[in-house]
Amino acid sequence: MITLISEFINLFFPKVCLSCNSRLQKKEHILCSRCKKKIDFFTDCCLICGSEKDNNTCHTCETSNFYFDRARSVFRFNKTIQNLIHNLKYNEITSLAKFLGDYCVKYLTEYRPFEKIDIITPVPLHKVKKRARGFNQAEIVAREIARKKEFKYIPNLIKRKKFTNTQTKLSKFERIKNVSNAFKINHKYPLKNKNILLIDDVFTTGSTVNAVSKLLKNNNVNKIYVLTIARA
Ligand SMILES: [Zn+2]
Ligand SMILES: [Zn+2]
């Protein structure tokens, strides 16, 4: 019955590629095969922050201090990834979260960028923003990864106490200021000596994940790893 209904829906509302909007062929899912060829794992990166590297580390890591131990992004940012992340942010498409979660899992399994992970948690949205949007895109991807990798998933480990405006138009310094003291920890969960994997959608300057990492480090966690879908 369900297949009948979905076939019926497909007939009148054909599925389109979430990047280029072209009509999907029978075996295509989320992306058309042309767009799918445009997304690629970002592996040749700085061993600390995961950005474009000069040597083993990048120029930024030589001068700035990150509180996380390692950060990686699954994809380099390009138009296709940008379209997918935009869709993930503004339309709750469970199949897209699953699709991206699958790539995250594949990346973690193939490249093993981190050691043992005890807890996986998303970078939180402020409750006002979450209410307006209806969901937190990092949360649904984190949940997908947790389910497949059997990590302990704690969605409310970190809370956003300060409403921060979008960081898009801010300079690096303004971003750091904007997110400092924006988060607090839910002390219900013991964190001592735990390895934490933090999930976010995009790594731009790293100021958001760094603010969360600083807070976690002050709470005696062992290692902090960051995984984002893309690197701006
Ligand atoms: Zn396409
Ligand atoms: Zn770096």
Same structural domain, 122 and 69: yes
Full-model pTM: 0.89
pLDDT of res. 1: 60
Domain tally, the chain: 2
Q: How far is CA 119 from the centre of its chain?
A: 15
Q: Which domain holds residue 19?
A: 1-37
CA of 227 to the centre of ligand 2 (A): 14
Q: Do 63 and 33 reside in the same domain of the chain?
A: no
Instruction: Report d(CA 152, CA 155) in Å as an integer.
Output: 10
CA of 205 relative to ligand 2 center, distance in Å: 11
Ligand nearest to the CA of 203: 2
Residues 31 and 98 in one domain: no
Query: What's the pLDDT tens digit per position in 94-148?
Result: 889 999 999 999 999 999 999 999 999 999 988 888 888 888 999 999 999 999 9
Residues 158 and 217 both lie in one domain: yes
What is the share, in percent, of the chain residues with pLDDT greater than 90? Answer: 65
The protein residues having their C-beta less than 5 angstroms from ligand 1 (an ion) are 17, 19-20, 32, 35
Q: How far is the CA of 63 from the centre of ligand 2 (A)?
A: 9
pLDDT tens for 182-225 read 899 999 999 999 999 999 999 998 999 999 999 999 999 999 99
Q: What's the pLDDT at 127?
A: 85
Comparison of pLDDT for 126 and 49, the residue scoring more: 49
Spacing, Cα 48 to ligand 2 middle (Å): 5
56 CA distance to ligand 2 middle (Å): 8
